Amino acid sequence: MSNRTSESRRLRTRVAVFACLVLLALGLDQVTKALAQVRLSETNSKVFIPGLLSLRLLRNPGASLGLGSGYTWVISLIAIFASLAFIVLLLRTDSIAWTVALAFAFAGAVGNLIDRIAYAQGFLNGRVVDFLDYGWSVGNIADVYLSFAALAIVALILFGKPFNSLQQAQTERDAGEGAADSQEVNR
């Protein structure tokens, strides 16, 4: 099998993993938001885990912690560009771990973007359906995905997981050169 065929097959696998994760994640996000709108209210909280998590409906025009609520359309445009960037990054990585992290980041961004479009009263100025009340912040499943993706990306970087095989080859070359330089200094 040629190298090009093998690369093509791996790309198809990563795209399939990405698509499946995104579809499942978006489905769960949208179903939980629909249930929240039917079963919860903005005035009453339902304690889920005492002292840790309550369920309360909130329609958030801003970003995390309500920041930027006057600039909802800007947040929407950022989400669109970020989603496109995640797709470009997917096509550039050859790592399944990075693919999973990018899928959750994409699902989180698109999950909240769907709300901003579906509940818009003007150009991209809709409100995101939040219902997970942590006491200090209210979020949704898409926010959980974004947090997970951010933590996963930090972990991948800290543990040196290469984004693609070219990066890995360069790291190995640099390590080999560093070892050779170290041996010459010790002589």
φ/ψ of residue 74, rounded to 5: -70, -45
Catalytic residue positions, numbered: 130, 143
Q: Could you tell me which residues come within 8 angstroms of residue 176 by beta carbon, excluding any fewer than 6 positions away? A: none
CB–CB of 109/153 below 8 Å?
no
In whole angstroms, give the CA distance from residue 179 to residue 173.
10
Burial bucket for residue 46 (CB in 10 Å: 0-12, 13-18, 19+): middle
Question: What end-to-end distance do the CA atoms of the chain give, in Å?
Answer: 46
